[in-house]
Structure 1
């Protein structure tokens, strides 16, 4: 399983645009083969910080997800929404068989 965490520090003036774009991405991503979960959380200590937690079945699913038109569009626009470059953490998690 592949676990991806993405941290976004969003400009207050861009909340609505950020949420509109990322919710579209979430909806389409949840329909993809190999998507185990795809959730956005808002920090309880900083209302401008959001964390996306993605769980994918395997690397092939992640590679397919990287071709998602909504992800490509979001990646092109994210710089308009954030105060700093998003931080990504990717971890491969061993699963018990």
Structure 2
């Protein structure tokens, strides 16, 4: 499994419309066969900051970055952004989904 976390700092004029304007990308990524999760979160304390959490099946990250919608995002996203996004990209060999938290359980 490939886990990707990306922090986006959006220009003030796009803070309220960013997710709607890039919804085409969100829908296309979620439709990819290797996509496990693709979700956006907005910082409640700074409305210009968004966090993208993505996970893909092993090897499917290559297909993702070669897709037409990813190429389009590389061209279009910079116009919305204050700065280059920060990213964490981790590969966990053999992982296929979520585990249950071991520290506590809900009955």
Q: TM-score, normalised by structure 1?
A: 0.86
Residue aligning to 1:4? 4
1:6 and 1:54 map into 2 onto residues whose CA distance is 8
How far apart are residue 82 of structure 1 and its match? 0.8
Residue aligning to 1:62? 61
How far apart are residue 21 of structure 1 and its match? 4.0
Structure 1 stretches lacking a partner, 5+ long: none
Residue aligning to 2:90? 91
1:43 and 1:28 map into 2 onto residues whose CA distance is 23
1:75 and 1:41 map into 2 onto residues whose CA distance is 20
Residue aligning to 2:27? 27
How far apart are residue 90 of structure 1 and its match? 0.1
1:67 and 1:20 map into 2 onto residues whose CA distance is 23
Could you list the runs of 4 or more consecutive aligned residues of structure 1 that deviate by over 6 angstroms after TM superposition? none
Structure 2 stretches lacking a partner, 5+ long: 97-107
How many pairs align? 94
How far apart are residue 55 of structure 1 and its match? 0.6
